[in-house]
Amino acid sequence: MAKNKTRTKIQHNQERNQLNQEIYLRRKRLRAELAEWLAAQPNRMAHLDDFAQRMSDPQDSQSFLDGGRGEFVYFEMKGERWVHLSADHTPEFVKQLDDERQVVLQEGWRACALLCGDVLRPGGTKSHDDRLMVIARTYTAETAAKRLSLSVAVIKEAVRVKDLVSFTDPEQRIRIPAGEVEAACWMQAAWNNWWGTRLCGSGIFRWYRGFPFRPFAAN
């Protein structure tokens, strides 16, 4: 019985080693084919999806890009994912990528600066830097909730149904113009003075939009 178990274990190990060898040889051939294909592409690079589609087994792509032997490197450029040969991923190329990313970020913040209006948050300071300008003139969902003593969920729902004007910044954060939040804050105080009760919930944003006087109209 013991001999049969030993023989079965040896046979199993031999089959596993043979399978691993077959996988190694197949990937070695595929690696060479992919390297040749990439070298023939414009600028010696290709979209990550095109690269992955040349492999029938998803594990091959993962092996080549997440370890493998380092022949291939994937990177992001202008919002798209690309692959090229590791020999082409030079320090000069990495610096070029970083420079391009900074340009894209600056352009994104510049576009956001046109959306945030002229109202400063309490404590906000003027700045000629587009990113700092946007931060000073907008609220995030969390800071808007704190300013209005509402839950973050209420603010996010108001953004979702477009009761609150908002936009997404280059860092993928929702930004609400300060004029929107300060107008709602003013309306809360006015309602309390008139009726002696606290105005809360997402309805506040629909209610103040119909009010004839908007003290903090966002541009």
Q: Report the range of poorest mean pLDDT among 55-59, 71-75, 91-95, 161-165.
A: 55-59
pLDDT at 40: 93
d(CA 68, CA 72): 9
Q: Which of 183, 190, 189 is nearest to 205 (CA)?
A: 183
**How would residue 79 be classed by pLDDT, with cut points 50, 70 and 90?**
confident
What single letter denotes the amino acid at residue 37? W
| Strand segments (E) across 63-200 | 72-77, 80-85, 138-139, 167-168, 174-177
For strand 72-77 and strand 138-139, is the pairing parallel, antiparallel, or unpaired?
unpaired
Query: Could you give the domains of the chain?
Result: 2-89 (1.10.10), 108-209 (1.10.1660)
Q: Mean pLDDT over residues 182-203, rounded?
A: 63
Predicted TM-score of the model (pTM): 0.62
